[in-house]
């Protein structure tokens, strides 16, 4: 009976350490996913801000080109030179 009791305790200790190790691994993985999610969200926000800035810059350039091409602006510039 002593050997069987020892085997039961050994199995229980093994199960306990396995459960503790498994829970620790799950928690570490959860923290990793959360930090990765934060990095991805931050990168998404910076890329979106950069995209909006580039769109605004493009609109300004288009307005400048339209101002150069517009016939009324051309005639105004021609009249101011004379």
Q: List the pLDDT tens digit at each of the 82 positions of the chain.
A: 455 666 677 788 889 999 999 999 999 999 998 998 889 999 999 999 999 999 999 999 998 888 878 777 666 667 776 6
Task: Specify the DSSP element, H or E, that contains 53.
Answer: helix 2-69
Looking up tokens 């050997």 gives 3
pTM: 0.54
- According to the model, what pLDDT value does residue 81 have? 65
- According to the model, what pLDDT value does residue 24 have? 97
Sorted by sequence, the CB contacts under 8 Å of residue 73 that are 6+ apart come out as 67
**Domain membership of residue 76 as a residue range:** 2-81
59 φ, ψ to 5°? -60, -40
Structurally, how many domains does the chain consist of? 1
């Amino acid at each position: 009976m002593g050997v069987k009791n020892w085997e039961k305790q050994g199995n229980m200790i093994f199960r306990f350490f396995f459960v503790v190790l498994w829970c620790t691994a799950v928690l570490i993985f959860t923290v990793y996913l959360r930090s990765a999610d934060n990095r991805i969200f931050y990168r998404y926000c910076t890329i979106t801000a950069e995209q909006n800035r580039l769109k605004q810059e493009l609109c300004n350039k288009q307005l400048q080109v339209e101002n150069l091409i517009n016939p009324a602006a051309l005639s105004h510039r021609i009249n101011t030179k004379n």
